[in-house]
Amino acid sequence: MRVLIQRVSRAEVTVGDRLTGRIGAGLLILVCAMQGDDAGVARKLAGRVARLRIFRDEDGRMNRSVQDTGGAALVVSQFTLAADTRSGNRPGFSTACAPDEGERLYLEFAQALRDHGLQVETGEFGADMDVALVNDGPVTIWMDTADR
């Protein structure tokens, strides 16, 4: 599973004119399930994200997690994180999960964050979404479970 995490002051996602999710301070998490991923991978990654210490403590050091700060998470599916750009000018996405499995794992990841006590908002799987955010820092972190 791959995630791109951005520490945000606020973020929201809309589909057409319909708001599907909005948060204040917290994390915008773009998620892509890869072939071979399962619910265990999604839950484990969600735990790592919930505990990731990228928020400032009283000394200004990145030493607090979104759990510690009471922040929220906006989780948005993004299969393009599976892009293979090693050759040619058109990325390939064959390593992403099939849509039905990708949606199941995306929802599993979001629920696992809720199980860690986070307020979680979501986008709409497979939809053409507009995502607006104010990146705080900026802080952007890439995680890929295949790297472990």
Number of other CB atoms surrounding residue 64 within 10 Å? 16
Question: Is residue 67 annotated as a catalytic residue, yes or no?
Answer: no
Query: Which CA distances in Å does 128 have to 13, 15, 18, 81, 95?
Result: 10, 6, 12, 15, 21
Residues 6 or more apart from 137 whose CB is under 8 A from it?
Answer: 7
Question: Is residue 78 annotated as a catalytic residue, yes or no?
Answer: yes
Question: Is residue 109 annotated as a catalytic residue, yes or no?
Answer: no
Query: Which CA distances in Å does 120 have to 69, 72, 96, 115, 125?
Result: 14, 6, 23, 10, 15
Respond yes or no on whether the N-terminal peptide bond of residue 91 is cis (omega within 30° of 0): no
Backbone torsions φ then ψ of 51, nearest 5 degrees: -95, -5
Catalytic member of 6, 20, 55, 79? 79
Catalytic member of 35, 80, 93, 140? 80
Catalytic member of 78, 109, 122, 125? 78
Catalytic residue annotation: 78-80
